[in-house]
Amino acid sequence: MYSDHEFDPVTPEEQARRDAEAEFARRVRREVRRMESGEADEDIRRDEEEEALRRAEAEAREARERRRRSSTLWQLFSGSILVRRGVSRYYPYLLTIAGMFFLSIVVMFWSLHLDMRYTRLEREVQKLRERSIRLQEQRFQRTTHSAIIEQLHARGIDLYDPLAPGEIIEN
């Protein structure tokens, strides 16, 4: 621990404290000499200029941030536009617009539903028309002159055509 074989009353902690105090005294003397020679004034001026630059940069950054936060597009995107003082009086209008959007969506789906129902009913009407035409054809085939004669012959009734043409009655 000790390089000397004799007892040294100074402990390592005490020696470290003494070295630190000596280093501090050297720094103070050096700074006093700098102050007297004028070098410290230049350092102080340089430090003040750097501080002014840092302050200006911070203010510019803060101004950009304020401008960005006050941008209407950013406020719309972030939702912070809803907490502004002037916007709160427009809440009824915003709610009305939201209600109208909802109503327009409901009307759109309702009209789509009605259109689908109309299309379905149109197809049903088309099928009924086709069936009606087929039934008319069947009725016509059953009620033709030759079909009636066949039915009468099947039942044993004779049908004869008049020899003289019928007379036309005029009004």
pLDDT in tens, 29-56: 888 877 777 777 777 788 889 999 999 9
Domain that holds residue 135: 89-158
Does 148 score more than 70 pLDDT?
yes
| Same domain for 126 and 75 | no
Does 9 score more than 80 pLDDT?
no
Of 84, 117, 148, the residue that ends a domain is 84
Q: Is 157 left (phi over 0), alpha (psi -120 to 50) or beta?
A: beta
At 117 the pLDDT is 97
| Same domain for 106 and 54 | no
Beta-carbon contacts of 72 under 8 Å, excluding residues fewer than 6 positions away, are 81
Of 43, 68, 84, the residue that ends a domain is 84
| Same domain for 109 and 54 | no
Instruction: Please indicate whether residue 60 or residue 73 has the higher confidence score (pLDDT).
Output: 60
Give pTM, 2 decimals. Answer: 0.37
Number of domains present in the structure of the chain: 2
Of the pLDDT bands very low, low, confident and very high (cuts 50, 70, 90), residue 21 is: very high
| Same domain for 73 and 47 | yes
Measured CA to CA, the distance from residue 14 to residue 26 in angstroms comes to 18
3-class SS letters over 57-95 = HHHHHHHHHHHHHHCHHHHHHHCHHHHCCHHHHHHHHHH
| Same domain for 80 and 94 | no
| Same domain for 102 and 74 | no
Residue 165 falls inside a structural domain: no
| Same domain for 101 and 35 | no
